Amino acid sequence: MRSLHLEKKGLRGLAIAESFKQNSIKSVLAGVVMRRDFVIDGFVFGSATLEGNDATDTILKMYDDLNRPDISYVLISGLIVSMYNIIDIKNLSDTLQIPIIGVSYHDSSGIEDSLKHHFPNSFESKIHEYEKLGKREKITLNTSYDVYIRKEGCTLNEVKHILDDLTLHGSVPEPIRVSQLLAKTLLEKGLSF
């Protein structure tokens, strides 16, 4: 497992966010490679099935498509995407051998009831995947906003350090903000991957 070299000015991360419409079959995933000094160094795209189970594999493919061994971590806007397509953060970290950080912006009491409602015949497997994510941890950023994170392959202190470096204002780190804008624009233009 490669560790986060927080002393490196050119530390590169892959930030991934999604966009979808309620009537879509798939969401658009956009990835941005950004250095800690906010230099954008690459883009990658993918898709995930709404209510599916393919988001983890899509992220692995996006990482492979980049062919960038200089990426030191992956930052994901939420680990439950595309209407309950649950990302296996441990699988990502074990496979890629780099830290994985999932960031969300609101406290939540859980999604078990929603999973039972949306998946009446298969909610057990979805709940199992959800429980594997573990509990979220709250971090108060230097901007005074709270975020909720799940992490693999790094410490809470390292996560706070990198998120403080990457968050210019509010609660959304700049690489995620850019990947969200990109995913939304691609969806609005009707592009799919």
According to the model, what pLDDT value does residue 7 have? 67
Range of the domain at 153: 12-107+136-187
Q: Is residue 152 part of a domain?
A: yes
DSSP lists the bridge partners of residue 77 as 103
CB 79 within 8 Å of CB 29: no
| Domains of the chain: total | 1
Higher pLDDT pick, 111 / 72: 72
Residue 78 lies in a domain: yes
Buried/exposed code over 6-19 (b: 16+ C-beta within 10 A; e: otherwise): eeeeebbbbbbbbb
**Model confidence over 28-60: pLDDT tens digits?**
999 999 999 999 999 999 999 999 999 999 999
Domain of 30, CATH number, reads 3.30.2170.10
Residue 48 lies in a domain: yes
Please tell me the least confidently modeled range out of 23-27, 56-60, 176-180, 182-186: 23-27
Instruction: Report yes or no on 58 lying in a domain.
Output: yes
Instruction: Tell me the whole-structure pTM to 2 decimals.
Output: 0.92
The better pLDDT of the pair 62, 123 is held by 62
120 within a domain of the structure (yes/no): no
The token pair at 153 is 């392959």
What angle separates helix 55-66 from helix 89-96, to the nearest 10 degrees?
Answer: 30
Please count the other Cβ atoms lying within 10 Å of the Cβ belonging to residue 137: 13
pLDDT tens column, 79-107: 999 889 999 999 999 999 999 999 999 88
